[in-house]
Structure 1
Amino acid sequence: MTMSVNDASVFTDLSGLNNIRQLGRENEAAGLKQVAQQFEAMFLNMMLKSMRASEDVLFGDNYTNSNEMKFHRQNFDQQLGLHLSETGGVGLADQLYRQLSQRYDINASSEGEVGRLDAGDNNQGQEFPLPSYRVPVQSQMPNQSQAPNAVQQQAPVINNAAAFEQPEDFVRALEPAARKVAGELGVDSKVLLAQAALETGWGQKMIRSRDGHESHNLFGIKSSPNWSGSQVEVSTLEYRDGMVQRERAQFRAYGSFEDSFRDYANVLRSNGRYSDALNAGVDSELFAERLQEAGYATDPAYAEKIKAVMRHPAIEATNSGSVIR
């Protein structure tokens, strides 16, 4: 193990942590990886400390258990924790790095991004859903006394994904457009909301340009030669022969979320391979299954993921047509 002065891998050199801060300014991804390793080292130190405490109970009267030995042993354990985290550790640093890079969109090429629908060919994909713990769920129950048309009258028009702090915020903002387009397609608005939530992580992982410009792309529709509108290029992950591969692709950008819903409806109606899905009508589970069978996404579990999202309380509450309060 080679260590240098001002190296964060030397636990006694606190100035080495400044290097991480500087690295974070120059390379966010590399800086975040260093932070994740430091966190794993702290976790490993806690484990070692707990193990040493158990050892003290069993061998507390041993002559090697002096205060001096404990001091040196503690130093050794702290350095060991850093070394283990840098050489693979228990995998905590890698998991933390992937989660944080997705959460804060570090390097625009996080491990959670995969390719979405290309309206022009069969080469489609879908975004991995964010785990439920990333977006806390309110336990608040919806007001069941509202009339079905209350959604159209009271739900605010929101075109800023930053406003989606909770799944309920996402559903409340998009439900009017979802109902309108679902009515035109003859499907249940729940399945459209669920698919949009799956593709965007409840609005937390929207496709954006490098300068942070919002694409409003709710269904991961890729750009195609006949697309004359705006587009955004991002890094994606695609399923190829059962393997996930990183690629870069152009995605459509819209002026509003409602435009995204309407373009999605146009893609389904103008492409014959989705006719079976549309013929499923309000049978949302069948719609999701046929959508996958038609090749909408390369994820083999795409339909099951949509069904799982449909069971979320925020979407189930839309059955009555009432706005979530």
Structure 2
Amino acid sequence: MALSPNSLSTTSLPSGGNDFRSLDALRGSAVRDPKSSIRETAKQFESLFMQEVMKSMRAATMSTEMMDNSATKLGTEMLDTQFAGKMTGLPGGLSGAIERHLQRQLGISGKDGDKTAEKSAVQALPALAQKGIAPHVQSFIQKHDSAAKAAEAQTGIPASFMLAQAAHESGWGKREITGAGGTPSFNVFGIKATSSWTGRVAEVQTTEFIDGKPQKVMAKFRAYASYEESFKDYAKMIGTNERYSKVVAQAQSGGAEGFARGLQKAGYATDPEYAQKLARVINTTVRVQRALA
């Protein structure tokens, strides 16, 4: 499960000398400055971990009942807290590893000044859920946004249209085509591997509408090395194939319904309701992008 600053819970952490209320403050600061809040969160976790290590070491040592009273226990706990604090945040320590892990989970770059990545992480916080946007929808759009914009520059088709089509074809990333042994194909557009395709393929069972009726068939699909390659190949196919020339023109005019109908008419999919379904997803994608802006 992906972590977020709001997922921090003091009830799930081990007890120690740290003031757990400071973690609540971290959750509040995550929206304002996610990178620094992650750094502080990592230090808190390392400090708590080190305290537990110290407690375990104390429990493993010999002690006498004569010296084991409340005063000595309190003094020992305070000393352990100080030692844990001294060992927290050192170069190459546990907090650095935790910080990098949290940054990857939240999509934040470790490089200073990467404002775009920070903004993306902030938008991924549950605040967007209040606008009726499901987390997996947010994640899919943010994950492929840059590849879609690059394809828009190549074809003139709005990035939101391509994001929507990729979402529709892959079930918002939940039904991506995989090869043997679960090897990812990165094919989010469902592009078939015809005889002219010389790259890798993934052969899977899919649903085709034959005479208006859905049937399960085996088909070969193109496989890529990355999602970026998938968007580039889609842009190349749509932008250079005469079959889709009217589709590109309709997309550039800004008509989502016209774009979707054009794709269906050009034979992109056999589903008779493809245009209607795709138009709905496009409208959803545009709404989410406005919320993310």
TM-score range, shorter chain: 0.5 to 0.7
* SS of structure 2 residue aligned to 1:250: strand
Task: Say if 1:202 and 1:188 are closer, same or farther in 2 by CA, change over 3 A.
Answer: same
Deviation of 1:183 after TM superposition, in Å, equals 2.5
Q: Is the 8 A contact 1:193 1:315 kept in 2?
A: no
Q: Could you state the TM-score of these two structures normalised by the residue count of structure 1?
A: 0.47
Provide the rounded CA distance (Å) in 2 between the counterparts of 1:193 and 1:151.
19
Matched, 1:296 2:268: yes
Deviation of 1:150 after TM superposition, in Å, equals 6.8
Provide the rounded CA distance (Å) in 1 between the counterparts of 2:151 and 2:236.
10
Deviation of 1:165 after TM superposition, in Å, equals 6.3
Task: Say if 1:152 and 1:260 are closer, same or farther in 2 by CA, change over 3 A.
Answer: farther
Partner of 2:232: 262
Which of 1 and 2 has higher RCO (CA within 8 Å, sep 6+)?
1
Partner of 2:258: 286
Partner of 2:141: 171
What do the CA deviations read for 1:44-85 (whole angstroms, capped 9, x no partner)?
xxxxxxxxxxxxxxxxxxxxxxxxxxxxxxxxxxxxxxxxxx
Deviation of 1:311 after TM superposition, in Å, equals 2.6
Provide the rounded CA distance (Å) in 2 between the counterparts of 1:231 and 1:265.
19
Partner of 1:249: 219
Partner of 1:75: none
4+ runs of 1 displaced by more than 2 Å? 149-156, 282-285, 319-322
What do the CA deviations read for 1:216-237 (whole angstroms, capped 9, x no partner)?
0010001011211111100111
Greater C-alpha Rg: 2
Partner of 2:160: 190
Q: Is the 8 A contact 2:148 2:162 kept in 1?
A: yes
Task: Say if 1:318 and 1:239 are closer, same or farther in 2 by CA, change over 3 A.
Answer: same
Picking from 212, 227, 241, the partner of 1:271 is 241
Aligned amino acid, residue 188 of structure 1: P
Q: Is the 8 A contact 2:138 2:288 kept in 1?
A: no
Provide the rounded CA distance (Å) in 1 between the counterparts of 2:118 and 2:231.
19
Partner of 1:311: 283
Identical-pair percentage? 37
Picking from 207, 214, 224, the partner of 1:237 is 207
Runs (5+) with no aligned partner, structure 1: 1-148, 157-163
Deviation of 1:284 after TM superposition, in Å, equals 2.4
Aligned amino acid, residue 316 of structure 1: R
* SS of structure 2 residue aligned to 1:236: strand
Q: Is the 8 A contact 1:209 1:234 kept in 2?
A: yes
What do the CA deviations read for 1:262-288 (whole angstroms, capped 9, x no partner)?
000111122111000001113222111
Provide the rounded CA distance (Å) in 2 between the counterparts of 1:247 and 1:310.
28
Higher helix proportion (structure 1 or 2): 2
Q: Is the 8 A contact 2:208 2:217 kept in 1?
A: yes
* SS of structure 2 residue aligned to 1:203: coil
Q: Could you state the TM-score of these two structures normalised by the residue count of structure 2?
A: 0.52
Q: Is the 8 A contact 1:217 1:252 kept in 2?
A: yes
Picking from 161, 165, 187, the partner of 1:217 is 187
Matches within 5 A, 1:1-325: 166-280=136-250, 281=252, 282-312=254-284, 315-319=286-290, 322=293
Deviation of 1:315 after TM superposition, in Å, equals 4.1
Backbone CA RMSD of aligned residues: 2.4
Aligned amino acid, residue 275 of structure 2: A
Deviation of 1:320 after TM superposition, in Å, equals 7.3
Q: Is the 8 A contact 1:178 1:193 kept in 2?
A: yes
Q: Is the 8 A contact 1:269 1:275 kept in 2?
A: yes
Runs (5+) with no aligned partner, structure 2: 1-113, 122-133
Provide the rounded CA distance (Å) in 2 between the counterparts of 1:179 and 1:153.
19
Provide the rounded CA distance (Å) in 2 between the counterparts of 1:152 and 1:234.
35
Deviation of 1:176 after TM superposition, in Å, equals 1.0
* SS of structure 2 residue aligned to 1:169: helix
Task: Say if 1:252 and 1:230 are closer, same or farther in 2 by CA, change over 3 A.
Answer: same
Deviation of 1:191 after TM superposition, in Å, equals 1.0
Provide the rounded CA distance (Å) in 1 between the counterparts of 2:116 and 2:283.
20
Provide the rounded CA distance (Å) in 2 between the counterparts of 1:239 and 1:178.
28
